[in-house]
A and B are shown apart, each in its own frame.
Chain A
Amino acid sequence: MRVPVGLDLLEGLEKAPFALWREGEGTSDAVGALCPCVPAELIHAAGFAPILVPAAVSGAPLADAHLPTACCALARGALEVALRGDLSFLRGVILHRTCDAMTFLGDLWPHAVRQGVAVVLNLPRQPEEPSAAAYLRKELERAFGELRRASGAADPPPWEGTFSLLDRRRALLADLYRPGRPLSGALRLRIVRAAHLLPPEEGVAWLESILQDLARQEDETLTRRPRVLLYGPTMTDLALAQCVEDAGAWIAGDDLCNGWRTTQPRVRGAERDPFQALARWVVDWPGCPAQHRPARPRAERLLRRVEEVGAEGVIFVLARFCDPYAFDYPALTRALAVRGIPHLLLESELTTPAGQVRTRVQAFVETLEARR
């Protein structure tokens, strides 16, 4: 794979996210995941290149034949991308069980897509419970075994190299989120997406190659704008982030599955027992509200994130019909209200932001400016 140097890569990937892979079709070793809650180490150590599959953003006519429209845009959009053949270069996918939509997508995928290997990681819904520990470990081992059989790899899994490579990627991405670093939030999200569309080796090399470019992109004037935090699951349409910054705000940080969460957490104890380390990583991952994690109330976590980035307002970017986030929304907004932090809710479907969204974002940014 020949990866364009510098930030030029971003534009190409936005037009055709899988173009680099399509050049080598037939020889690809890529396995896709739909969410970073699936540890990429599992795929990489099994002998594949892990990538994160972005969902479609312009309707899902093919997926609508398999999933009702009252299913979230993330599940329908991912299925749409597969059904229109965009993922034909993949050797397979690893799906996961978190919410109802993802649970059933994992079940439907082999019926609907019929291409490559489809492994489902049946994640426990309350990973922090002691009773889940043994089950989670077995599930990781089972999924790894299936991937490994599909890859046909005979050598011992290269765990050490895998952990070090993917931790390096997380560290490079985490540097984008360094507190106070005056980088455009929209740019940050585009870089995160690009890094997860490349094989990790190329992704790390590319991230290292753009360090100087990024330094040039730093813009202190951003820090004088109203600071917002984007919060939600995977944000399918990154144009929305640009829309927020075009309206005069600065996305000082995010708490999105395809943003800051991909930088978290570092893997611990990999040298002793890789599966134990991955199980701990799953427990520590800051993600999914579909899981029951009483020890880590989501409102507290959101407030902590707000403090970390110094956000003056929060924009919830939720996918319509995404029940876990919708259920959390009242409690989260109550917690923000107690601290006097304004918020805006943008519910996205499989469409690009319309004028109405732009107007609402502008009004919200004006509110933040008026509060200064």
Chain B
Amino acid sequence: MTERKPAYRKLRTAKELQRLMQRHYLEGRYLRLGRPVAWVTSGAPVEPLRAMGVLPIYPENYGALCGAQRVAVTLCQTAEERGYSLDLCSYAKSHLGSVFDPKKAPMSGLPKPDLLICCGNICDTVIKWYQALAEHYGIPLFVLDTPFVYGEAPDEAAVAYVQEQLEDMVAFLERHTRRRLRLSRLEEVVGLSREATRLWTEIRMACKARPSPLNAPDLFVNMAPIVVLRGTPEAVRFYQNLKAEVEERVEQGIGAVPDERYRLLWDNIAIWYRLYGFYRIFSEQGACFVVDTYTGAWSADLQPGDLFTSMARTYTGVLLNQGVGPRARHMVNLAREFQVDGFVMHLNRSCKPYSLPQLEIKRIVQEETGLPGLLLEADHTDSRVYAEEPIRTRVQAFLETLAARSEAV
């Protein structure tokens, strides 16, 4: 029996990440120390919550975890039995399933929330999802509305509107937690948030090296702290260590994929239930995803000065709250900066804001870069819509195209 060629190099910091995330989930359940728990959306401005000692927990991250642990389908079915449509987002349904029947869920579900904070900058789904949660638990819900950015950047009316809501959010938190927001503490938290964001951005930029020190699964797994621990010293420490390891790989010419032949760009959320298996189809043939549009969504930097204006501008201008033009341009820029040979787009049935403009974006990116692009239909956590063989066949054909282009050069 021949031994399978290793197509993935594990990071030393993997154990540290595991400990960090375990602690995060345990903290909400056993180490609350009187702190209120808020369930928050991944795009929500978390800094005021952290500054007020509110413990943020992220149902979307939990949805990804359910996908990675392959229990999402069971949990989705639990929600579907209660009337939720097959076609709704599987993050939402697997989390709702865990709420309805915690016995079926990893860690018996998330620690129960005291309040809910929902920011609509990533999708409309979260608003409906959080409405369902608010109704189920009978707890207060704050919705932060970020107008869609149809132009190049949020206009001043939108920024003023979001800023006023941020002030309302603080008042909401103060009212429901009986805690006060100290601006000096908020500045500290924003400082930590900026530092973690800076480190994470530098780690991602290090993948411009040939060979790339990280592949898509590394980026997807290691983004967890920037999402759930933004604004904490733990996130900063973790990214300092990860950055050191990544720089070491670069110095020593160690690639995430042995014998890197093709450099690729990924668009959309990961396929969590096939995280390693799916990317292995690529890495076995020397194809490495050196950059993606998803893990960079948490790279937006808060500017010093008027924090509330900066938060309003930054959280409104996130990539998923922008249209085809800026998003296509972003992909074109990434493709050039990271010198990729092609791009793969995950047409993710669950994620409407990511997927609805992808056909148009693919056309623009191909026109502007001349690069081959592959569009694959799947779902981020619902494996029922993942068709293994057709996907494998299409990936093989795509890799053959890359090989033919590389030989022609």
Give A residues with C-beta under 8 Å from B.
65-68, 70-71, 97-101, 103-104, 106-108, 111-112, 120, 122, 124-126, 129, 131-132, 134-135, 138-139, 142, 289-290, 292, 294, 320-321, 323-324, 326-331, 333-334, 347
Contacts and interface: CB of A to CB of B under 8 A. Distances in A.
A108 B357 contact: yes
A324 B150 contact: no
A323 to B, nearest CB: 6
Interface residue range, chain B: 35 or more
Residue of A71, A100, A106, A347 most packed against chain B (CB within 10 A): A100
B46 to A, nearest CB: 20
A98 B323 CA distance: 15
A323 B89 CA distance: 9
Given A66-B359, A68-B358, A294-B141, A122 B148 contact: yes
Given A139-B157, A324-B128, A326-B88, A112 B360 contact: yes
9 contacts: A68-B347, A70-B355, A97-B147, A104-B356, A108-B357, A321-B87, A323-B87, A326-B85, A329-B85
B371 interface: no
A217 to B, nearest CB: 37
Nearest to B135: A331
Interface string B108-138: 0000000000001001110111011001000
B84 interface: yes
B34 interface: no
Contacts of B357: 104, 107-108
B381 interface: no
Given A66-B360, A70-B349, A132-B145, 6 more contacts: A68-B359, A135-B161, A292-B143, A327-B128, A330-B83, A347-B85
A289 B129 CA distance: 12
Given A107-B150, A290-B127, A126 B145 contact: yes
Contact of A100 (B135, B147, B353): B353
The 3 A-B pairs with the shortest beta carbon distances in the complex, nearest first, are A330-B83, A327-B128, A107-B323
Interface string B352-396: 110111111000000000000000000000000000000000000
Contacts of B83: 329-330, 333-334
B329 interface: no
A290 B83 CA distance: 18
A131 B168 contact: yes
A125 B119 CA distance: 11
B158 interface: yes
Contacts of B145: 124-126, 129, 132, 292
A330 B128 CA distance: 12
B141 A107 contact: no
Contact of A132 (B120, B124, B161): B161
B11 interface: no
A124 B143 contact: no
Nearest to A131: B164
A143 to B, nearest CB: 11
Contacts of B143: 125-126, 292
Contact of A101 (B120, B347, B356): B356
A71 B150 CA distance: 20
Contacts, number: 132
Contacts of A99: 124
Contacts of A320: 87
B160 interface: yes
Nearest to B358: A68
B128 A323 contact: yes
A347 B85 CA distance: 10
B324 A111 contact: yes
Interface of B: 82-85, 87-89, 92, 120, 123-125, 127-129, 131-132, 135, 141, 143, 145, 147-148, 150, 157-158, 160-161, 164-165, 168, 323-324, 347, 349, 352-353, 355-360
Contact of A327 (B132, B141, B148, B359): B132
Given A70-B355, A135-B158, A323-B352, A100 B164 contact: no
Given A97-B148, A104-B353, A331-B132, A138 B359 contact: no
B135 to A, nearest CB: 6
A67 B359 contact: yes
Contacts of B147: 97, 122, 124, 135, 139
A124 B161 contact: yes
B398 to A, nearest CB: 19
A100 B352 contact: yes
Nearest to B136: A331
A343 B251 CA distance: 66
B157 A135 contact: yes
Contacts of A333: 83
Contacts of B352: 70-71, 100-101, 104, 323
A68 B360 contact: no
A17 B83 CA distance: 36
A116 to B, nearest CB: 17
A335 B383 CA distance: 32
Contact of B87 (A107, A124, A129, A326): A326
Given A71-B356, A112-B360, A131-B161, A326 B124 contact: no
Contacts of A106: 148, 150
A152 B128 CA distance: 41
A134 B161 contact: yes
A105 to B, nearest CB: 8
Nearest to A137: B157
Given A68-B358, A330-B83, A323 B124 contact: yes
A321 B145 CA distance: 22
A122 B123 contact: no
A100 B165 contact: no
B87 A125 contact: no
B169 to A, nearest CB: 10
Contact of B125 (A100, A124, A289, A331): A100
A361 to B, nearest CB: 20
Given A68-B355, A97-B148, A138-B157, A108 B84 contact: no
A233 B399 CA distance: 44
A100 B124 contact: yes
Given A134-B161, A135-B160, A292 B131 contact: yes
A330 B84 contact: yes
Contacts of B82: 330
B129 A107 contact: no
Nearest to B87: A321
B170 to A, nearest CB: 13
B125 A323 contact: yes
